[in-house]
Each structure stands twice: as C-alpha cells, then as structure tokens.
C-alpha cells in the first residue's frame, strides 16, 4: 500500500544521498549506520517508556533504507551482496523496533487501556515473529523460483503503522492507539503469512502437475 510513496521520499532525500556520495560514503555504510540508529532508538528509549523520543530517533534513521538503494543505483554499485546486506539489516531493524516494545511492556513504565500489559507483551512478540515470517516466506519462495508477494502486511505498512501510532499514543497519552494497532498488525501479519503459503502451495502444485 505504502510502496507507492517510496518514489516521493526517494526524491525528497536524493540531495542527502548525493552529498554522501560526494563525501565517499558507501551505500552499505549508510545501511549499517541506519540500522544502528533504528536499533538504538528502539532498544534504548522504548524500554524506558520514552516512546515519542524513540519514534523520533527511529524516524530520523529509517529513511536510510531508501537512501542506500538510491546511492547504489546512482553510483552503479548495485550488487548481490548489497541486496543481501540490506535485507539482513532490515530484519535486525524490524526486530529491534518490536523487541523494544516487548521490553516496554515488560517494564514498569508500560500502560494499557484494553487489557493487561502482559497481554500486549505477548501480542507484540507475536507481531515480531510473524513480521519476520512474512519476509522469510517471500525470500524463501523467491529462492525456489516462485513468487510470494501479497497480503495486507507489507514491511513499509507495518513500520509506518506502529511508529505513527506509538508516537500518537505518547503525544495524546492514549495507549489504546498502540494497542489497537498491535491487534490489527497481528491479524494482518497472520493473513499475509497464510496468503503467501497458499500462493507457494499453488505454484508448487502447478509445477508438479506440469512435470507429470
């Protein structure tokens, strides 16, 4: 859903990308620094209950995911390792964001309006695992020569939803905004995994039938 806005943000950040290129910074370095920033913002501030600060720090670094790709295309340095490096660090960043929220709900700073904080600790952990599973399902399918892109919970949608609602819940002191978002993401992640599994099953069955 939100992939349609990727080009807008890429154009917006392109001057920064060109500046980094002139300074001799590599796309892989930008990816690494961006992941460090996202992870630090989530794992340092979220567990302390500083949700808005964490969101602002994460947001400042999360756009590196667009900048590094633009830099690689501009400099002609697109490579298989770069794609692997980017995808691998994406998983670390995503895990840090939801892991930070797990630690938030495990701590004394947590607040909840739609149930006990323990429930949302488990729900956030579920979102972390299922978010990683959606990415793995697509990657594994593509390694087998199949397609598995579909479902409601694309990576950009997951990140924007949880970051925006976490920030708003902190600004307006309404924990239920984040809680509702976690329920929605849990359902969307589950639907996405099911859709991708069925897509691969159908493709595998079609290939098997064609080879008979």
Active-site residue set: 90
The C-alpha atoms of residue 160 and residue 140 are separated, in whole angstroms, by: 25
Of 56, 48, 40, 61, the residue nearest 166 (C-alpha): 56
Contact 188, 134 (CB under 8 A): no
CA atoms within 13 A on the CB side of 172: 10
Residue with tokens 């794992």: 43
Of 191, 181, 187, the residue nearest 159 (C-alpha): 181
């Amino acid at each position: 859903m939100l992939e349609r806005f990727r080009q807008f943000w890429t154009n917006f950040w392109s001057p920064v990308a060109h500046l980094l290129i002139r300074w001799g910074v590599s796309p892989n370095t930008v990816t690494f620094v961006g992941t460090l920033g996202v992870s630090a913002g989530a794992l340092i501030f979220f567990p302390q209950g500083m949700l808005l600060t964490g969101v602002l720090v994460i947001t400042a670094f999360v756009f590196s995911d667009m900048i590094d790709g633009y830099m690689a295309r501009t400099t002609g340095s697109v490579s298989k390792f770069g794609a692997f490096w980017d995808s691998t660090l994406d998983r670390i960043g995503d895990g840090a964001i939801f892991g930070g929220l797990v630690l938030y709900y495990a701590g004394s700073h947590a607040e909840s309006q739609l149930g006990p904080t323990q429930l949302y600790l488990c729900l956030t952990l579920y979102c972390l695992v299922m978010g990683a599973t959606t990415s793995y399902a697509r990657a594994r399918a593509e390694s087998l020569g199949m397609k598995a892109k579909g479902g409601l919970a694309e990576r950009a949608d997951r990140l924007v939803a949880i970051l925006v609602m976490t920030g708003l819940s902190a600004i307006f002191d309404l924990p239920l905004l984040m809680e509702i978002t976690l329920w929605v993401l849990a359902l969307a992640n589950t639907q996405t995994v099911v859709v991708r599994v069925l897509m691969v099953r159908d493709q595998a069955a079609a290939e098997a039938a064609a080879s008979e």
